[in-house]
Structure 1
Amino acid sequence: MDALALISHDALDESSSVPLYRQLKHRILQLIATGTLGAGEALPTEQALCETFGLSRATVRRCYRDLVDEGYAARRRGRGSFVSLPAESSRLDTIYQQVSTSSAIGRSGARPGSRFLGIKVVPAAGAAARSLGVADGAPLWEINRLRLADKNPVVHELAYVPQALCPRLDSANLESTSLYQCIAEESGELSSRTEEFVEAITLDRREARLLETSPGSAALRIVARSLGTQGQPLETSVGIARADRLRVETAYDIDGSSARKVVV
């Protein structure tokens, strides 16, 4: 995995009101938040980032200084900068952590896990095709899995990824890494935005059996889409969650709103 290649896959937006050092910082935090860069892994050198993006040394130093001050990086004399996650993990509660089912399970004190029910190629159609911006019939990976808390099912999820984006996606790499990490490592694309639509439903017999509860039980249907740094769709999913195990919390303040999933 080449961190520099992932960070520099898309150019920074010089016309944006967001300063370049913050755009660069956001790219690095994306890699950390999705697990693509783990604790102790080396970050690109300041010189490499300057040459790749055409940035001044002051811009890159400001980015790294912020990462160090906030606890996401540590400098080692003569060796460079390395990922160093804050002791208080909630400081990494960006949108990736807040809306991630696995992160919600972990925050509850339970052990997150997945049970794979299958992965196959299906033709794009209907809502999945529209969400991913592909033509009907385009090949999509369909990842069928249960999200678990202490080995108990919480969410049944069908995720769809364009095969053109990740030609070699398979169950072997998904068992050890997150889907976002697999997408980043294979395509170089980073998830920058997640959109979700949540509605209340009741479970039919099939979903109730998968979630190990009774037909007619209250549930949530969560339709999500992940977008890349240039707004391109990377993945879409439909999750059916037990309403007695998962809820979505939203907060509003003068600076905007935020949401997170909570497993109970």
Structure 2
Amino acid sequence: MIDRESPVPIYYQIEEYIKQLIETEALNPGDAIPSEREFTEQFKVSRMTVRQAITNLVNEGYLFRQKGKGTYVSNQKIEQTLQGLTGFTEDMKKRGLKPGSKILDFKLAPAELSVAKQLYINEHDPVYEIKRIRLADDLPMALEMSYLPANLIKGLTEEIVNNSLYEYIEDNLQLKIDYATQVIESSLSHEDEAKLLQIPKNAPILLIQRQTFLDNGQPFELVKSKYRGDRYKFVVDMKRV
């Protein structure tokens, strides 16, 4: 099980062993893993070595700790490829998950200069401002703030936003969504964000800003999202050029 002659560090071998237990469903989300002492006795290694392996898996999102209780298997991360443009609702449905939203704020407001520039509209033009929590199987995935020009995306309601915004834009407004530019950064959650996302304060999150365009080059959406780092990961395929 542990190859002491291998150049691969023992802590890494333990990590791979625990990952295998998770991938083969010997350990499932919510299950407690064996204690550090049990692993120490099983592998005949120091507790520091075991602790390093478990800490690495916590940082990677495979495990999570509950103070005074133990270490448990996390829900596995949802993968999203960066090659295609889909809305959150469409993406969750494709994965067999139930999409949902909890709207925290929905209002019509004059566009601030920074928002107006990215939507190619004039400062103070009306925009829909929508703050919501995005859910997958009733679990919070992201905190999202969206801005849409009201003179372009007409008749928007909370009910439409709670269903599928992209379907409404294409099917009802007969507008063609074409492409988006997206910037992804890493950060740590603040206290208010942590409460809404049901994660610890200072937990890793992904900051994502997306500017989405119609086929005529007009941006119709600016979205600033904060995704849970323990539930989401992005995958990109790259070809040598």
Indicate yes or no: 2:218 matched with 1:232. yes
Which of 154, 161, 168 is the matching residue for 1:167? Answer: 154
Which of 78, 85, 98 is the matching residue for 1:96? Answer: 85
Indicate yes or no: 2:209 matched with 1:223. yes
Indicate yes or no: 2:126 matched with 1:114. no
Q: CA deviation at 1:245?
A: 0.7
CA contact (8 A) 2:113 2:124 kept: no
Letter in 2 for 1:152: L
Q: CA deviation at 1:156?
A: 0.8
- Aligned identity (percent) is 26
Which of 121, 127, 142 is the matching residue for 1:140? Answer: 127
Which of 172, 183, 186 is the matching residue for 1:197? Answer: 183
Q: Deviations over 1:235-260 (max 9, x none)?
A: 11001101111111111115x8xxxx
Q: CA deviation at 1:108?
A: 4.6
1:124 alignment partner in structure 2? 111
**Greater CA drift, 112-121 or 207-216:** 112-121
1:105 alignment partner in structure 2? 92
Q: Structure 1 residues 108 and 172, CA, compared in 2 at 3 Å: closer, same or farther?
A: closer
1:4-83 equivalence runs, <5 A: none
CA contact (8 A) 1:165 1:187 kept: no
Indicate yes or no: 2:138 matched with 1:151. yes
Q: Deviations over 1:98-133 (max 9, x none)?
A: xx4334434554322212223101221143211101
Q: Deviations over 1:4-54 (max 9, x none)?
A: xxxxxxxxxxxxxxxxxxxxxxxxxxxxxxxxxxxxxxxxxxxxxxxxxxx
Q: CA deviation at 1:184?
A: 2.8
Structure number with bigger Rg: 2
Q: Structure 1 residues 186 and 110, CA, compared in 2 at 3 Å: closer, same or farther?
A: closer
CA distance in 2, matches of 1:219, 1:137: 31
Letter in 2 for 1:144: K
Number of positions where the alignment pairs a residue of Structure 1 with one of Structure 2: 160
Indicate yes or no: 2:234 matched with 1:248. yes
CA contact (8 A) 1:95 1:194 kept: no
Root-mean-square deviation over aligned CA pairs: 2.1
DSSP-derived class of the 2:115 partner:
helix
Q: Structure 1 residues 94 and 220, CA, compared in 2 at 3 Å: closer, same or farther?
A: closer
CA contact (8 A) 2:103 2:133 kept: yes
Unaligned runs of 5+ in 2: 1-81
Question: What TM-score do the two structures reach when normalised by structure 1?
Answer: 0.56
DSSP-derived class of the 2:237 partner:
strand
**Greater CA drift, 236-245 or 106-115:** 106-115
CA contact (8 A) 2:83 2:236 kept: no
Unaligned runs of 5+ in 1: 1-92, 257-264
